[in-house]
Amino acid sequence: AAGVIQSPRHLIKEKRETATLKCYPIPRHDTVYWYQQGPGQDPQFLISFYEKMQSDKGSIPDRFSAQQFSDYHSELNMSSLELGDSALYFCASTANRSPYEQYFGPGTRLTVT
């Protein structure tokens, strides 16, 4: 069965550069969540989209933006990268914002040097 796909899996950027992370939800899932997990830390919710509209917002820096496209994939754009942005970024998808069936992607490990 198809799972949540994220790309790239690993990314190395320098300070002040930009990065774009992509998340492809499970087919027919219309809701995407983005989470950030710093080294040794709990995952923190960043932002979510439902039917291509932002549905909730967490602790996402102003330097980050995200959107969901017509095919329901989502992109997280990160600018002016800082060392503290180094983390595992993973997304989850579900249908109709259901809390029961959230499926997780493998994550993108971003390293900022």
Q: Which residues bind other proteins (CB under 8 A)?
A: 31, 33, 35, 42-45, 48, 55-56, 58, 88, 90, 92, 94, 97-107, 109
24-27-28-33 Cα dihedral, nearest 10 degrees: -30
Identity at 86, one-letter amino acid code: S
Give me the least distance between CB of 48 and other proteins, in Å please.
Answer: 6
Residue 80 C-beta: closest distance to other proteins, Å? 25
Task: Rank residues 61 and 106 by Cβ distance to other proteins and give the closer one.
Answer: 106
Residue 75 identity: E
